[in-house]
Chain A
Amino acid sequence: MTQQGVRWTAEQVLALAPDDASRKAGSRLGAAGPWSGSGCDGTGAVWGLCAGSGEQPYRTVVDTTGPAFLCGCPSRKFPCKHAVGLLLLWTGGEAAVPEGVAPDWVERWLDARRRGGERGGRDGTGPAGGTGAVADPEAARRRAEKRAGRITSGALELEQRLADLLRGGLAAAERPGYGLWEETAARMVDAQAPGLAARVRELGAIPGSGPGWPARLLEECALLHLLDRAWLGRDVAPAPLAATVRSRVGVPAAPQGPAIRDSWQVIAQYDTADAKLTTRRIWLYGRESGRSALVLDFGAAGRAPSVALPVGLAIDADLTPYPGAGQVRAALGERYGTPVPAGGPPPGTTTAQALERYGRALLDDPWLDACPTTLTEVVPIPPQGDAERWQLADVKGALALPVASGGVGRAGLWKLLAVSGGSPVTVFGECGHRGFTPLAVWSEGATEAVALT
C-alpha cells in the first residue's frame, strides 16, 4: 500500500463536514449518481464534476494533503457538501473514483495552492523566528505595553469585583437577575483580556449547575483571583510560568521554538460552540516523540473552523509549541505527504496514574482543567441505581474515574459501552478535576480507533 494509495474512511470524511446538515447533504452526494469525470492522483488530489440545479456542473477538487477544498458552488460552508460527497465517493474505492491524470483546472489550482503553501503556514502563524516580519519593533513594543496596561487595570477591576462578591457572599450570585457576570465579562473584553472574560462568563453558569455549586463557584473565583494576582506579579515569576499566565489571560503569543516533526496520530477532533465562536480541538499524539499536542482552530459564529484533520490517520507534519509551562497547545506547520493509517492507541496508564499526572501538571499550570490521557484496560460502567454518572474502572483493582458530565454527550458514551461490551478497552480522553471525558476508544487488540465525538 503506497502512502498515496490510502483512501480515508467515511467517518474521517464526515468528521470534516462543518455541521450536521452538511454531513447529511454530503452523504446524499456520496453516490455515483450526480458525479462525472471524477478521479484522483498520486499527489493526493481528488476531483469531480457534480450535477447541481444549474446548467453547468460544479467543479469540485480536494487536496487531501491539506486538506484543502475548492468548489464552484455558491455555498459558504467549508468544506461544502460537494467536497464532502466527492470524498465519500472516493472512499468507495477505485471503481467510484479511479486513479488518473488531473485535468487542467485541477492542475492549475493545485499548482497555485502548493506554491503558496511553500511560502509559509496557511494560518498565518508560521514558525516564529523564521518570519521576522514585524515592521516596526518599537511600535510593536509600545502597543504591547499599552495592552498590558489595559489588562492590568482590568485585573484590578476584577479583583475589586471578586472582593465585593466575597464580602456580600456568594449566595447573591444565585439570586434571579444577578447580572454581574455578563457585565464584568464585557469589561474584561474591553480590557483586551479575553482569557479573563471567558473565565468570568463561565462563573455565570455555575450557580445553575446543581448541588454543590457554592463550592465550585468558590473554586473558580479563587483560581480567577490567583490568575489576577499572577498577572500583577508576572514580572517576578519564572519565565515559563509568566508565559503560562499571559496565555491564560489571553495575550496573543506566536508559537515558539523549533518545530517538532513527527508522525502525528490524529486521535480526536471535536467542536464546542457558543453564540459567537466555534472552537475546534484536535488532539494529536507523536508516534516517535511520544508527545501529546492540541491544535486549536476557531470559526466565527456559524462557520466551521478551517483546519480539519482525518481522525484515525497519522500525518507527517511540523508542529510548533506555544510558549508556557506545561503547554500542550501547538500550531500546525508544514505537512509532508498524505495521511497514513496510524497504528494502535498511544501507551496508556491506570486511573490512579492518570490523576497523579494531572496533579503534577497543575504544578506548571494551576489553571489546567484537564490533560490528555490514555487509559488502558478500563471497563466503562453505565450509571446504575441512583448513580447518575458513568465510570471508567480499571479492569484490575477496585478504582474508577467518574466520566465528566456534559463532556462527550450521551451518544458517545453509549458507543463507548457498545465497543467495550463489558470487556476492557483502551480509552483516550481528557482527565481532570471534573472527571474523565472519553474521546476515542480502541477495543482490545484493535488498531482502529472509534471516535466518540
Chain B
Amino acid sequence: MDGDGEPKGATTAVSPPWEELVSAALLGTDRRPAAGTPEELLDTAAIQTVRRRAGLVPASAAGRPPAAPPDPRRAVPRAARRRLAQLLADRSAPAHAGGRRGTAPDLGELLPQWLALANERGMRAPAALLPALLDAARARTDLRPGALTFAGPRGLWLARHNPEWRFALRGASGSTALPDPGDTAGVQRLWQEGLFAERVAVLGAVRAHGPDAARALLAETWSTERAEDRLLFLDSLRDGLSAADEPFLEGALADRSRNVRATAAELLSALPGSALAGRMARRAASCVSLDRTGDGAAIAVEAPHECDAEMQRDGIAPRPPGGRGERSWWLGQLVESAPLDSWPARLGGRTARAVVALPVTDGWGVELHAAWCRAAVRQGNAEWARALLGAPSQPPGEGAGTGSLAERAKLLSILPQEERAEWVARFISAHGLSEAFQLLGVCVVPWAGALGRAVVDALEIARDAGSYPWSFSGVMGLAERCLDPSESPRLEALTAAPPEREGASPGAGSYWAEAFRRLVATLSLRLAMREELDACPPR
C-alpha cells in the first residue's frame, strides 16, 4: 500500500487490465464494447478487486521522526492525571450564558492552578494528554507559560510536527538551546550569532547568573545594536539592578534614541544613590518646600518654569500628553525620579508618614502624592508605600495618602505578603467588596486566613443586604480561585437558601445559596487537586 492507496508490486504485475477496466467503466460499455457486457465487466472487476485487496503489501516507510528527548521529571499520580484530563475536556465548554452559573465549578478556571501546582512539584506531563494541553495553550495565551513548562521536551517535540502548535516553538526555541551561563564560549557564540530572541534569552540567563558579566556582554556590541534592540537589551538590566550598573546607564543617557534615554533615566532614578537621582533630588527640592506662613506647617509647591536641556538629558519628557499643563507634567517627573529618602531632610526632618500628612498648598496635593506613589513603586520603598497607602479604614479620597485604587494596588504590591493581605482584609472590613477587586488581585494565592475571612464575611453582608450575587461575580470568581480550601467548612452554613426577606431582591437568596454552593464545590475540588498531586506516584 503506498501513499495514495494504490496497490503495487505483485498485484499490478498480475493484473494489467485493471486500469483498462476502470477507464472502460468510466466511459461505459456502450462506448467501449471491447470490455464486454456490463455484467462481464462487473464480474471481472469483482475478481480483480478481491485479488487486489488480498494482495496488498505494505508501503515503504517515510522518514521516521527522531525520538523525543527524555524527560527526567517524575510522572503525575494517577488520580491527578484523571483530573487534568477532566480539566482539559471542560475547557472548551461554552461560556456561562447570562449571569447565572449554577453550582458546578468552572473547571477551565482551575486549569492554570493545576498546572502551577504540578510545575511546582516538578512533574512531567502525561504523554497522552499533550495534544489537549497544547490545544488549550493555543486557545488561551494566559495558559501558555505554565502549559509549556509542564509539556516539557516531549511537548516541544510534538509541537514541531503540527503547524497549529507553532506558538510553542517561538518562545522555546532559544531556551532549549541556551548554553550554560558559565560556558563563556557558548554564550559568546550565541550572543554574536544568535537570533534576537535567543540573544535576549542568553542575556537574561547570564544576568541572572552574574549581573556584571551580562553588562560586559552588552557593552561589547552596544554601539552596533539597532535602537529597538538596544531598548530591549537595556530593559534586561532591570533585574538585579545595582549601583554597579550606573556608569553604563549614564552612558546610555546620551543615546541617539529617545526611548533608550528615557529607559536609562528611569533605571538610574530607581538607584537612589546614583548621580542622576542626586540631580533629580536637587531639582525636585527646589520646587517643593516647607511653608510656615500659615497656622501650621504645610508644603508649598512651585512647579518648574522650563524644561532645560539638562533636564531633558536626564530623561524628562518636555511635551505633556493632551490635557495636562506643562509645569505640572515636569513637576511630576522630577518628583517621581527623585530619591524618596531626600524628602525628610528637606521637609523638617519628618518621617514619610508625617510628610504625607502635611497639607499641600494651592491644590498641588494630588499631583505631588501621585508622583510620590510612582517613586515608591519604582524605588520599592516600603516605608513610603505604607505612608501613601494610608489607613485601610480611611474612606477613599479623604485624608492623607492616595485614594486611587490603582495606585493603592501598585503600592500594596511592594509590601511584604502578610502585610498586603492584612491591609486588604481591613480595607474590605471597612468598605465592603465593591471596590476591592483590584486590591485582591495583588494578594498572594491562596489568600491568608484573615483576608479570606474578610472576603467571606463581606459576601455574607452583601447577601444580607439583599443584592444579587452577580453584582459580586468578579470577587466571587476570584474567591473560587484564591480562597484557601480550608475555609470551606465556614462556608457550608451559607449554602442554604435563607428565608426571603422584605426589601430583598426577589429570588436573591436562592441565587446566593447557589453561588456559595459553587464556591464550596470549587474549594473542595482545589483541595482534591492538591491532594491528588501529592499522592504516591504510580508504580
Contact = CB atoms under 8 A, between A and B. Distances in A.
15 contacts: A11-B85, A31-B104, A33-B525, A51-B517, A163-B38, A169-B27, A171-B26, A223-B49, A351-B58, A381-B63, A382-B162, A398-B60, A402-B59, A414-B162, A433-B5
Interface in B56-70: 56-68
Given A93-B79, A381-B64, A170 B1 contact: no
Interface string B29-68: 1110000011101110110111011111111111111111
A168 B68 contact: no
Contacts of B4: 211-212
Interface string A32-53: 1110000000000000000100
Interface stretch (B127-135, B183-191, B325-333, B386-394): B127-135
A74 B385 CA distance: 59
B57 A10 contact: no
A423 B26 contact: no
B5 A422 contact: no
Given A31-B104, A222-B42, A400-B62, A422 B157 contact: yes
B89 interface: yes
B521 interface: yes
Contacts of B90: 24, 27-28
Contacts of A31: 104-105, 521, 524-525, 528
B86 to A, nearest CB: 5
Interface in A327-375: 351-352, 355, 358-360, 362-363, 366
A394 B64 CA distance: 10
Interface of B: 1-6, 18, 21-22, 25-31, 37-39, 41-43, 45-46, 48-50, 52-68, 78-79, 82-83, 85-86, 89-90, 93, 102-105, 107, 127-132, 154, 157-158, 161-162, 517-518, 520-522, 524-525, 528
B38 A162 contact: yes
Contact of A417 (B82, B102, B161): B161
Interface in A403-419: 411, 414-415, 417-419
Contacts of A214: 22, 25-26
A229 to B, nearest CB: 8
Contacts of A418: 127-131, 154, 158
B131 A414 contact: yes
Contacts of A218: 21-22, 25, 45, 49
B45 A219 contact: yes
A222 B78 CA distance: 51
B42 A166 contact: yes
A376 B5 CA distance: 22
A422 B103 CA distance: 43
B5 A434 contact: yes
Contact of A411 (B85, B131, B521): B131
Interface string A410-453: 01001101110111000000001111000000010000001000
Nearest to B37: A163
Contacts, number: 240
A88 B86 contact: yes
Contacts of A363: 54
Contacts of B25: 166, 169-170, 214, 217-218, 221
A399 interface: yes
Contacts of A91: 79, 82
Main secondary structure of the interface of B (DSSP, over half): helix
A287 interface: no
Contacts of A165: 38
For chain A, which range describes its interface: under 10, 10 to 19, 20 to 34, or 35 or more residues?
A: 35 or more
Nearest to A25: B104
B66 A422 contact: yes
A2 interface: no
A81 to B, nearest CB: 10
Nearest to B35: A166
Nearest to B521: A33
Contacts of B57: 352, 355
Interface stretch (A107-115, A188-196, A383-391): A383-391
Contacts of B43: 222, 225
Given A31-B524, A169-B31, A389 B64 contact: no
Contact of A10 (B86, B93, B127): B86
A87 B306 CA distance: 75
Nearest to B70: A421
Contacts of B104: 28-29, 31, 33-34
A166 B25 CA distance: 6
Contacts of A268: none
Given A31-B521, A381-B62, 15 more contacts: A28-B90, A33-B103, A33-B518, A91-B79, A92-B79, A92-B528, A96-B528, A165-B38, A166-B28, A171-B26, A352-B58, A358-B56, A381-B61, A418-B158, A435-B5
B1 A28 contact: no
Nearest to B82: A10
B46 A23 contact: no
Contacts of B66: 422
